[in-house]
Structure 1
Amino acid sequence: METIDYRAEDLSDARFVVSPLGHLIHGVHDGPCSRHSPWRRRWWTRARRQVSASSGRLIPLINRAHPDAPAFLPLAIAGPDPAPAFEQELDQLRATPPHLLGFRLATAAARTDDADRLIRGLRNQEDAAMRAVVDGLLALYRAALMPDWPEISQRLHRDVAAHQRQEQRTGTQAMLTNLHPDIAWRAVGEPALGSLILSPCLFGQQRAHAGPGSDGSRVVIYPAAEPDPGGPGGPADDHLAALLGPGRAAALRALRTPSSTSGLARRLAISVPMASTHAALLRNAGLVATTRDGKSVRHELTPVGQQLVELNP
């Protein structure tokens, strides 16, 4: 049970954040919380095949953290954007004092020479060590999570929308009380405790986690209310996602209405570069046609792409 202190004033500052960086860290962390998530099992079984020795070099560092949750997970979830792009979260992590990240990681038990060397660099405030962490996370994200993030993000946004509807009906305090049975809320007085960030997670279904963010916020990572992915209506029934991958399948379906690259990014709640990558891969497969008018582009389904979507709505 995770007990979280709050003041009455904090309730007005409670907000949701859907975090790709938080999911990446939780997803590759082989702890009991992640192992009990059917979503994480299915995703990691497939995604780990795409991870090379170079793109996966941070996995030992992530897995040396506390056995129940990565030590620096809350540091990755901050900032004002409720649906940040992965690059925005890397900027947030890059702005974190290196020694703070090094301290969080140094408290863990698992040890490897490379991880120890990197942690020493962080604790010594070495910019090169922080760059290695940021570059390593970016490589891991591109290899493992980026193709699937649109599908995962959509499910997380549905969870957030459900809690926001409850908040409108019953108030913030009642919504927080029903957020997850693993969380207990305790009202306290002064001093100020900082803003409250609520972040749903598909990859950690065993329990909730709370911790301080790098900006003084308090981050609560809670299991998203989602069905087993192998059940009816889940990805196991999605033949288009099985063929193209969840991310590209979501992009193809989104282009039932033609769109620019930035418009596609907004529809899928992803970054513009990621939307451009999806569109290029679908174009190379003959499923999407792209026309250019000056600096703007327009993506639309080809007849083959249209037929695939109609057969797999």
Structure 2
Amino acid sequence: MESELSFSAADLAQTRFAVSPMWEVVTSFRLLKDPTEPPLHRRWAAQVRPRLLRAGLDRGWLAALVPGGGYLADFLNPTPAGPFPALADELAAIRRSTPEQVHADLATLVRKSGPSPRYRLLHEEPEAALEKVAAEIETYWELALAPYWPRVRQLLEADVFHRARQVAEHGSAHVLNELHASVRWEAGILHVVRRQCRLTRDQTGAGLLLVPSAFAWPRVLTRSVPPEPPQLAYPARGIGALWEPRSPGPAADAVAAVLGRSRAQLLAELDVPASTTQLARSCGLSVAGVSQHLTALRNAGLVTGHRNGRSVLYARTAVADALLTPQPAP
């Protein structure tokens, strides 16, 4: 099946890019529901799946609203107000979803996936149920995405900046033709093939919102809720290298001269998010010593902490990644 989205000059003028935390929530959650090992995200999934099972998120609200394939609830992906919205902004928009929007989405979910007690609660008490949905999304974010967000966001922002430069150099048609193998621009019409649902201009608002995603691969996903602009989530450039280990190499020695060898070692170990106990074991330090160093690194904006049950996972920030990246000679 092929969808055709026609464009006027006004639609092209209103076409823009955005990095959306909620698109990463729904696409990553769907990826984890797939029983097959995700080849590009195996390293990430191996760390995250056990946390989600312990938290019971495999059978919660997200599991009901994001089936393993096909349609997912449109209210989970509100239109971002700007190019880089925070998760809190998108959760606030989800909480503001109208009962009419929720009921329409539930009707589609029931038709495709069958009834569910959670659907019934959402239908009868949408405001209270949306609070529960938002709370579960926050939990999922803290366990599955927050520790990795600096790395993921860097990838998505790089894609946006690259394509914005391509628009300036080659025009919008060139960029739209390069988004994905299933997307083609021709004579003022955007063709999207192999879509389960048709997407036409009379079903959408004006313009187009293009959303790079780290977890959408190998497909594109769309959202169409008039009068909002249609959204198209596509695989970001460079996904294949997203989870490759980032060895600090000689840069760690320079950082150690400033921060001290133990703190530089901890930063190097945090290529993968880890708890205080795990870091103490891998670095040969006491738990108390690791805790003191992590407090100092956190105060300096070099690591972040994320609750994982009774423990806390620590992750490097983008600032720390930059410090550990070898710089070219002037």
Same fold (TM > 0.5): yes
Q: How far 1:311 sits from its partner (Å)?
A: 6.3
Q: How far 1:173 sits from its partner (Å)?
A: 2.3
**Counterpart residue type for residue 216 of structure 1:** E
| Cα distance in 2, alignment partners of residues 32 and 2 from structure 1 | 27
Show CA shifts across 1:116-154 (max 9, x none). 122122223531111111111111111211111111000
Q: How do residues 166-245 of structure 1 correspond to structure 2 at under 5 angstroms? A: 166-185=166-185, 187=188, 193-213=205-225, 216-229=228-241, 235-238=244-247, 243-245=269-271
Paired position in structure 1 for 2:310? none
Show CA shifts across 1:209-261 (max 9, x none). 2221476120001111215238xxx523447788225679xxxxxxxxxxxxx
Pick closer, same or farther for the CA change 1:229–1:165 going to 2, 3 Å: same
Structure 2 stretches of 5 or more lacking a match?
190-199, 249-265, 275-289, 304-315
Q: How far 1:197 sits from its partner (Å)?
A: 0.6
Alignment equivalent of 1:53, drawn from 55, 67, 79: 55
**Counterpart residue type for residue 183 of structure 2:** I
| Cα distance in 2, alignment partners of residues 127 and 95 from structure 1 | 8
Paired position in structure 2 for 1:83? 84
Mean CA deviation greater in 14-23 or 122-131: 122-131
Structure 1 stretches of 5 or more lacking a match?
249-280, 291-297
Pick closer, same or farther for the CA change 1:103–1:162 going to 2, 3 Å: same
Pick closer, same or farther for the CA change 1:19–1:214 going to 2, 3 Å: farther
Paired position in structure 2 for 1:22? 23
SS of the equivalent of 1:5 reads strand
Aligned sequence identity (%): 23
Paired position in structure 2 for 1:294? none
| Cα distance in 2, alignment partners of residues 28 and 151 from structure 1 | 18
Paired position in structure 2 for 1:130? 130
Contact 1:289 1:299 in 2 (8 A): yes
Superposition CA RMSD, Å: 3.8
Pick closer, same or farther for the CA change 1:36–1:80 going to 2, 3 Å: farther
| Cα distance in 1, alignment partners of residues 101 and 301 from structure 2 | 44
Q: How far 1:167 sits from its partner (Å)?
A: 0.1
SS of the equivalent of 1:15 reads strand
Q: How far 1:31 sits from its partner (Å)?
A: 7.9
Say which one has the larger Rg.
Answer: 2
| Cα distance in 1, alignment partners of residues 320 and 302 from structure 2 | 13
Contact 2:74 2:105 in 1 (8 A): no
Show CA shifts across 1:256-311 (max 9, x none). xxxxxxxxxxxxxxxxxxxxxxxxx9865255274xxxxxxx6579xxx9999876
SS of the equivalent of 1:288 reads helix
Pick closer, same or farther for the CA change 1:224–1:308 going to 2, 3 Å: closer
Q: How far 1:30 sits from its partner (Å)?
A: 3.9
Contact 1:74 1:210 in 2 (8 A): no
Contact 1:160 1:200 in 2 (8 A): yes
Contact 1:235 1:241 in 2 (8 A): no
**How many residues align structurally?**
263
SS of the equivalent of 1:127 reads helix
Pick closer, same or farther for the CA change 1:39–1:101 going to 2, 3 Å: farther
| Cα distance in 2, alignment partners of residues 204 and 35 from structure 1 | 15
| Cα distance in 2, alignment partners of residues 34 and 193 from structure 1 | 36
SS of the equivalent of 1:194 reads coil
SS of the equivalent of 1:236 reads coil
Mean CA deviation greater in 135-144 or 32-41: 32-41
